């Protein structure tokens, strides 16, 4: 079923198959197996995207502003590590303006704003069991709208250091396996709630000014490839 307001650390520690691990499994079963017993260290490169998610969605890891010019000093590194240990995103105070600007651009986009302001749940955790393979699955939707009379359109928010244009996003889909993510997420939702008609859109915002925003939906070819690959991973 669907779990609201689930702690992020608890969700990520859950043993059910995630979209990230499904993609890793498709890339290399040996790499997947290694990761299960060798957890990866935190990557600071993800902090900006996580902070933007928290700002736009209103939930997620809290951000702690650190008043240092950079993280080169021992004091700055200690403060950063303590923030991580406390379940927070350490951000240099000077970088918070960038987070605010990206979030403002996202919510200023008319289509993105409509999609994100509907009744629904941000950071909704979905758990399901696939009877065909016996595999337990999990998915964490950035935004899962409530069931209405129309088709349910879920949202995945992506920050990108590249162009948000369709031609660049198509390459990004293949490089990062976003089509597999979509297949995994929508399969989990269908198994958990019986909603086999749900769709997904990707709201992409550029991290460089002027922070252009685009909303993309995968065409039927990529969508079918994603469902097939997600099933193959299970």
DSSP string for residues in 53-117: HHHHHS-SSPEEEE--S-S-SHHHHHHHHHHHHTT-EEEEGGGHHHHHHHHHHHHHSHHHHHHHS
Contact 129, 175 (CB under 8 A): no
Instruction: Give per-residue pLDDT as tens, 19-48.
Output: 999 999 999 999 999 998 888 877 777 899
What is the structure's pLDDT at 164? Answer: 97
Least confident among 44-58, 121-135, 153-167? 44-58
Give me 147's structure tokens. 């069931």
Pair of tokens at residue 203: 């709201």
What pLDDT score was predicted for residue 43?
Answer: 77
Q: Tell me if 42 sits within 8 A of 89, measured CB to CB.
A: no
């Amino acid at each position: 079923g669907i779990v609201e307001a689930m702690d992020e650390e608890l969700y990520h520690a859950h043993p059910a198959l995630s979209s990230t691990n499904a993609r890793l499994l498709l890339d290399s079963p040996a790499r997947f197996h290694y990761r299960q017993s060798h957890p990866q260290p935190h990557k600071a490169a993800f902090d900006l995207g996580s902070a933007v998610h928290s700002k736009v969605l209103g939930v997620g890891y809290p951000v702690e502003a650190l008043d240092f010019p950079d993280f080169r000093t021992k004091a700055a590194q200690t403060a950063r590590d303590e923030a991580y240990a406390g379940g927070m995103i350490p951000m240099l105070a000077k970088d918070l303006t960038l987070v605010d600007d990206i979030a403002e651009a996202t919510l200023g986009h008319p289509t993105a704003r409509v999609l994100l302001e509907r009744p629904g749940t941000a950071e909704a955790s979905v758990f399901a069991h696939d009877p065909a393979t016996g595999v337990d699955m999990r998915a964490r939707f950035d935004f899962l709208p409530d069931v209405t009379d129309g088709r349910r359109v879920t949202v995945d928010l992506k920050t990108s250091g590249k162009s948000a244009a369709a031609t660049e996003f198509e390459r990004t889909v293949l490089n990062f396996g976003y089509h597999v993510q979509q297949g995994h997420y929508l399969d989990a939702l269908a198994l958990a709630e019986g909603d086999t008609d749900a769709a997904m859109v990707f709201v992409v915002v550029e991290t460089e000014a002027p922070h252009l925003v685009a909303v993309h939906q995968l065409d039927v070819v990529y969508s079918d490839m994603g469902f097939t690959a997600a099933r193959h991973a299970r």
